[in-house]
Structure 1
Amino acid sequence: MTNKPNTTLDRLRTALDTLAKWPEVSWDEVSRVAGEAVPLVWDALKDHGVWYQLEPADRAALYWALSTGQSVQTHRPSPVADGRPVLDELSRECAYFAVHCEGRHECWAAAEGRYEEKEGAAQLLDWYQGYTPAWRPEVFRILETEHQTLRHREDGPPVLSHVLSRVHDRICDRDTPRPDEGHYTQTALRLASLPEGWQIETMRRMAAGTLPGHAVDGAFDAISALPRHGVELSPMPPP
């Protein structure tokens, strides 16, 4: 057996160290490394024989991270306010998948809590899908409108699980959802059209604070980018 997997993960650690140093490191260097980091961990997953053992939601997350890394690589320079969150997201995703290769969480501290997020997202999706199509857009309406009104308060933006609970209470009280002019209904329909793994990953990102419309758009953008990485979209996008 070759030592390629260890070499690949060593290169990944070096890449993540570089991402962590921005803005001390130039954006040209960081953007280049951001485009290389996810392919490195993808190679490591394949080298360790675990890529095809991953759950669909995890494969969707890796594909999404590939798209994010490529976007960082091709859009420069980046405003400081926008650069740090996306670099942290990339580092966390790479660390999460590196754990799948090594099984050692202590070596990839950035991945802490990431597994629980995925498990929670699957439960949130089940909860959301338990509502009728008439109520699903209402979940997104509340999330988006309250995100705008509450983001400057001390308690922060709305939490997806709390919104789902409130919708549940309204259904039990025989309330009716507010009329939707189409935006939130369209978001719900687009989410439902995604493969289940992509739905779980999209829900995870919503739970982390991404607006529903932006999260769903991000999923479709990531899928559209897959052919650049040699992933076919026919007859259906993976996973």
Structure 2
Amino acid sequence: MMPPAKPLTCGARIRVEPRLIPAPGPGTPGGLLRSSVQCRTAAHGHGPHWGVLRDTAWTGGRPGWPTWTSWTGRPAGLLSVHVLPFCPHTPACSLAADHPGVCSPLLDPALSTDPGRTVEIDQALKTLTAHAQGSGGGTDEAAQAAHDAALLTWDELRARPRILDALPEGDLATVHRLIGRSGSVPVLDEAGVRTFLREVTEVTRLWGPGPRDGRRLTHGQAAEFWLGVLTGLPPDWQAAALSGRYEQILPPPGSPQRPSLAEGPGCVPFHGVLQYARRQTAAGHHPPSPVPHHEHGGYREEDRTLGADLATRLAALPYGWRADAVRRIAYGTTPLDALSEAAQAVNALRHHGIRLAWNRT
């Protein structure tokens, strides 16, 4: 006999506006204030939602008095803050005392189905499109839309575990990066907002019509291939490729040595540089020797130093985040920006309760 199915997690979500949240009272732990709070109890059709507002797990493990919050709907800010002990009935339960529904060990971590979630995602994308065109509302409206676009897309994936569990590490890192960077969207320029829109839209196609087996984000598999090429290069070529000084590394346009993927000046894709570097490595050739820093237009010592530093930073990321960084560089983001934004996104994920297993495999 099959065991009874576990209840799904509610998963209702609300964006937190820090200016509306009271400071922790005397004797209560501060903890990390969440940017977004999600109902962690069993799916329910009525009554208030309950989620962790301040995450004290980042400040010393399982706390005695977590801060919870309850709300009955949206918009953001309609929060009632409660300081409650953990549930005493089940030792491993991570919910608050007197929580509704079953204890957390008896919950399915997959989220309940919400037909309105995809509607809210579509509306958020429309709002951000208007914001990018300069015809939308203010910063607060853009902040809410960016939150909904990224976080609700993540929630929809969690409500579809067959899709989420099949995502390769690089594609999952892309989703996590979009969550981590969602808070900065309102201050991006039009190109930055459009890039965010394009990437979120790509993720939403994972659950669109058509066969779902083996679905990938655009160029995800190619990024893994080119990451393998990059990391297989000697250190000097890795530094040259990540320096961003592509025209200073490649032969001039028209040269038979120039890779076919880089036909003209200003049109050098990252994988064209990697193609050239791999061929040069096989022939036993090294990158051009750096020129003095005061000489403009060449591959300079500071370029090589920057590239070597970026190679070290790339190697420190988990595999999926390395693949995502290469995917972004191939799309035209500079290596410096791709790696800097990856680090910022990883730090910001903590404010959404997402912990990453940092390994180097």
CA contact (8 A) 1:35 1:72 kept: no
The answer for the alignment partner of 2:179 in structure 1 is 66
Asked if 1 retains the 8 angstrom alpha-carbon contact of 2:227 and 2:322, the reply is: yes
**What's 1:43 paired with?**
155
Q: Which residue of 1 aligns with 2:220?
A: 118
Q: Take 2:242 and 2:281, find their aligned partners in 1: how far apart are those partners?
A: 16
Q: How many Å separate the matches in 2 of 1:60 and 1:185?
A: 23
Alignment partners' CA distance in 1, 2:360 and 2:222: 22
Matched, 1:144 2:266: no
How far did 1:237 drift?
Answer: 6.9
Q: Which has the higher strand share?
A: 2
Give, in whole Å, the separation in 1 of the partners of 2:222 and 2:138. 34
- Partner residue of 2:193 out of 75, 78, 87: 87
Which one is further off, 188-197 or 28-37? 28-37
Q: Deviations over 1:23-55 (max 9, x none)?
A: 111232223211221011011111122323321
Q: Shift of residue 118 of structure 1? A: 1.1
Pick from 115, 119, 133: which aligns with 1:6? 115
Preserved contact between residue 60 and residue 238 of structure 1 (Cα < 8 Å): no
> How far apart are residue 163 of structure 1 and its match?
0.6
**In structure 2, what is the Cα distance between the partners aligned to 1:238 and 1:145?**
28
- Alignment counterpart, residue 32 of structure 1, candidates 144, 169, 185: 144
Q: Which has the higher contact order (CA 8 A, sep 6+)?
A: 1
**1:1-239 mapped onto 2 (5 Å cutoff):** 4-22=113-131, 23-28=134-139, 29-49=141-161, 50-73=163-186, 75=187, 82=189, 84-103=190-209, 115-141=217-243, 143-144=244-245, 146=247, 156-177=266-287, 178=289, 180=301, 182-233=305-356, 236=358
Q: Which amino acid aligns with 2:276?
A: R
Query: Identical aligned pairs, as a percentage?
Result: 25
Q: CA RMSD in A?
A: 2.9
| Aligned mates of 2:318, 2:233 — CA distance in 1 | 19
| DSSP-derived class of the 2:346 partner | helix
Report what 2:23 is aligned to: none
**Pairwise CA distance, 1:196:** 0.6
Contact 2:229 2:278 in 1 (8 A): no
Q: Deviations over 1:114-161 (max 9, x none)?
A: 8341121111111112212232111123x33539xx9xxx85342111
Matched-pair contact (CA < 8 Å) for 1:124–1:203: yes
Give the Cα separation in 2 of the matches to 1:97 and 1:60: 12
Task: Please report how far the alpha carbon of residue 9 of structure 1 lies from its aligned counterpart in structure 2 after TM superposition.
Answer: 0.7
Tell me the distance in 2 between the aligned counterparts of 1:5 and 1:42. Answer: 13
Name the count of aligned residue pairs.
218
Q: Deviations over 1:161-184 (max 9, x none)?
A: 111122123223322233555221
Structure 2 distance, partners of 1:93, 1:168, is 29
Q: Give TM-score scaled by structure 1 length.
A: 0.79
Q: 1:101 deviation in Å?
A: 2.4
User: Measured at CA, do residues 169 and 103 of structure 1 come closer, stay the same or move farther in structure 2, by a change above 3 Å?
Assistant: same
Report the secondary structure of 2:268's partner residue: coil
Q: 1:36 to 1:221 in 2, by over 3 A?
A: same
Q: C-alpha deviations, 1:12-31, integer Å up to 9, x for none?
A: 11111111223111232223
Contiguous gaps of at least 5 residues in structure 1: 106-113
Q: Structure 2: any 5+ residue segments left out of the alignment?
A: 1-7, 9-42, 44-111, 253-263, 291-300
More divergent stretch after superposition (30-39 vs 11-20): 30-39
TM-score (norm 2): 0.54
Describe the SS at the equivalent of 1:135: helix
1:161 maps to a residue whose letter is H
Query: In structure 2, how many angstroms separate the alpha carbons of the residues matched to 1:191 and 1:103?
Result: 35
Cα displacement (A) at 1:8: 0.6
- Counterpart residue type for residue 175 of structure 1: H
